[in-house]
Structure 1
């Protein structure tokens, strides 16, 4: 048991939820502390990806989810994972991340678009009742019981917090991401959550990273941690932010978050913003035979 003084220090380090909310993220940039004349200053902020970095859908992502729906609605269908994987390779907002999607930043508008994309994909595959399967995908994909955190996630976030780091989440995800984070018990670790389905900007769009920078406040250390080399690592560096790429070669790989934390706790700030640093961390687990590469 912690001594009383140690408990107090531990509580002082615990992340606090902001009291005001921006429409796109849960902390307003530049909000002054009570009694202060200037903006909030945060010395060290880690920007985290979610899906594939801190957590994952245990039974797989979009292709696997749609196959689950088809198994229930059309038992005996003969569609395979590789077919579904390829059929869903276009049409999602992050497949055209260079374009803003602010017209989709309401949940129903976002899902109407996704339902249309999935319906067209299933129609191309020659499946019966494609619209019904597409409409059922929303409930299946957003079921919080289907999502898990990677084993190291909470431990690493709390370890970094104890060393003075604050956390911002920057994710290309579904509108229901906040509910998923809450169900997983991780939402209180972040000073801000920036979700592309709400902001209308998907990584690697520069505006997505500008929103993260605004949410971070005045930070002298700012580092992005994510599993996607293009959306996370290259996107962050394009916005002048250092990056740690927690590599996952296959969907079944587990990111090594402990190694990423070790880098955060030892690296020195890079002063030249024209050449942001890139650190690469290999996965914890070996590549699974027959797994498809991450798209």
Structure 2
């Protein structure tokens, strides 16, 4: 009997962060410009695909996903009077920050829990709304050996909580008989997982989400597994 755990990444395995906001802020300042952080946050909520899960983009994945995002960046930069000559270097610098594993911090119990779940006969998969190179970052964080596969929104064209991304994950894992979705977001992870028949575990977040289990720490997860 195949048993699989599907894990969210940001806010679940790593501490929650505003990596795109921080990278955009650092990029703008690095090139000598000033934009209010609140303006950048509002822009990213319009520009990043995970804030509009109702929109699918199967034909704009991988490198096309980055090109679409940077096209929006350029309109944003132009609105603040930043000369176009800077755009290629700014985009390269921003992308470098996003792909730098040192900008992400693992929960202290993450590696031990992933190892214990493997030892108990579960396969681990990541299901994440994120940038296409996320697997590379996970590997640089030292977790590559714990995951059997990755399903990342920008590589498939659907964002959680869309059923399509979860269905893709189930197929990638060989349609397991027992599976759990583990995440910190009550909508993207818990509601999305429930809608395709997964058991769900909400972590690092207060209860009341409709999850099957609520765990304050990742270390509590092995005890609830069948």
TM-score, with structure 1 as normaliser: 0.66
1:1-295 counterparts in 2 under 5 A? 41-42=1-2, 44-56=3-15, 60-74=18-32, 77=34, 79-107=35-63, 109-124=64-79, 126-129=80-83, 132=87, 133-248=90-205, 256-263=217-224, 265=225
RMSD of aligned alpha carbons: 2.3
Shift in Å, 1:209:
0.5
Equivalents in 2 of 1:259, 1:248: separation in Å?
Answer: 13
| Partner SS state of residue 232, structure 1 | helix
| Partner SS state of residue 104, structure 1 | coil
How many residue pairs end up in the alignment?
214
| Partner SS state of residue 105, structure 2 | strand
Equivalents in 1 of 2:205, 2:25: separation in Å?
Answer: 23
| Partner SS state of residue 221, structure 2 | helix
Equivalents in 2 of 1:48, 1:150: separation in Å?
Answer: 13
Q: What do the CA deviations read for 1:142-197 (whole angstroms, capped 9, x no partner)?
A: 12232232211111111112222211111111111121111112122112211112
Q: What do the CA deviations read for 1:121-143 (whole angstroms, capped 9, x no partner)?
A: 3444x252376234532122112
Equivalents in 2 of 1:198, 1:225: separation in Å?
Answer: 20
Equivalents in 2 of 1:209, 1:138: separation in Å?
Answer: 27
Distance change in 2, residues 1:83/1:201 (3 Å): same
| Partner SS state of residue 55, structure 1 | coil
**Which consecutive unaligned segments of at least 5 residues does structure 1 have?**
1-40, 250-254, 269-295
| Partner SS state of residue 93, structure 2 | helix
TM-score, with structure 2 as normaliser: 0.84
CA contact (8 A) 1:92 1:117 kept: no
